[in-house]
């Protein structure tokens, strides 16, 4: 299990979002995307263990292929193992910071596998660690592991998805020097798909 402080030491999702929206670098398009994607259909608490770089989101720059966060449902659930597994599977659906970027025009899961190793409660804090060992040619591949607060590995998962990213607008001088630009629907290069464009 990764070494990380307790979830109570990190800002809530609401505090995190308010801080991002207050940043002058955040454009209206990114702000609207954040507001659209941040609300969950059920009471889900998330505490990211690393600060979010607004400049990376704004410019769709390459970022670390690793990320972790604490997660739990905000109310007590019945003692039903299947219910806890279903709730967590839904919580780990494709989502994340890459969805906040308006340049992402399309994304879909190609396959998603989950292995449950031990019982857990989704209404107690769980640490989710993920990494993207490969993201290129319009596809992203990620691996995830879920731990209880006392370090027990209770879940592993793997996912591959497809992502389409709109080209950055070019100036007239850039257009002349670079020749015809890529189609808006054409996948971006490996560097542009790193980090934030990985699928969770």
Beta strand segments in 14-152, E: 44-48, 66-73, 104-116, 126-136, 139-148
Phi, psi of 56 (to 5 degrees): -65, -40
Provide the residue ranges of all domains of the chain, joining segments of one domain with +.
16-169+182-197
Q: Is 17 left (phi over 0), alpha (psi -120 to 50) or beta?
A: alpha
Residue range 16-169+182-197, CATH number: 3.10.129.10
**Using one digit for the tens of pLDDT, what is the confidence trace for 38-83?**
655 567 888 888 876 666 555 556 667 788 899 999 889 999 999 9
* Predicted pLDDT at 71: 92
- CA angle (94 as vertex; 92, 97 as ends), nearest 5: 105
SS3 136: strand
Question: For the whole model, what pTM was predicted?
Answer: 0.69
Sheet holding 153-165, edge to edge: 44-48, 66-73, 126-136, 139-148, 153-165, 104-116
């Amino acid at each position: 299990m990764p070494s990380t402080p307790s979830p109570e030491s990190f800002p809530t999702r609401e505090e995190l979002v308010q801080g991002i929206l207050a940043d002058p670098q955040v454009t209206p398009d990114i702000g609207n995307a954040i507001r659209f994607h941040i609300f969950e259909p059920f009471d889900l608490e998330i505490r990211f263990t690393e600060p979010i770089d607004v400049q990376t989101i704004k410019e769709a720059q390459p970022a670390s292929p690793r990320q972790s966060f604490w997660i739990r449902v905000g109310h007590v659930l019945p003692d039903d193992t299947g219910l806890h597994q279903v709730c967590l599977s839904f919580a780990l659906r494709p989502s994340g910071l890459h969805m906040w970027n308006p340049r992402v025009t399309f994304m879909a899961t190609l396959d998603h596998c989950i292995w449950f190793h031990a019982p857990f409660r989704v209404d107690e804090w769980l640490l989710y660690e993920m990494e993207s060992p490969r993201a290129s040619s319009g596809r992203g591949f990620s691996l995830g592991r879920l731990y209880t607060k006392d370090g027990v590995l209770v879940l592993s998962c793997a996912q591959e998805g497809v992502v389409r990213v709109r080209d950055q607008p070019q100036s007239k001088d850039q257009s002349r020097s670079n020749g015809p630009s890529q189609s808006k629907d054409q996948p971006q290069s490996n560097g542009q798909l790193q980090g934030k464009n990985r699928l969770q």
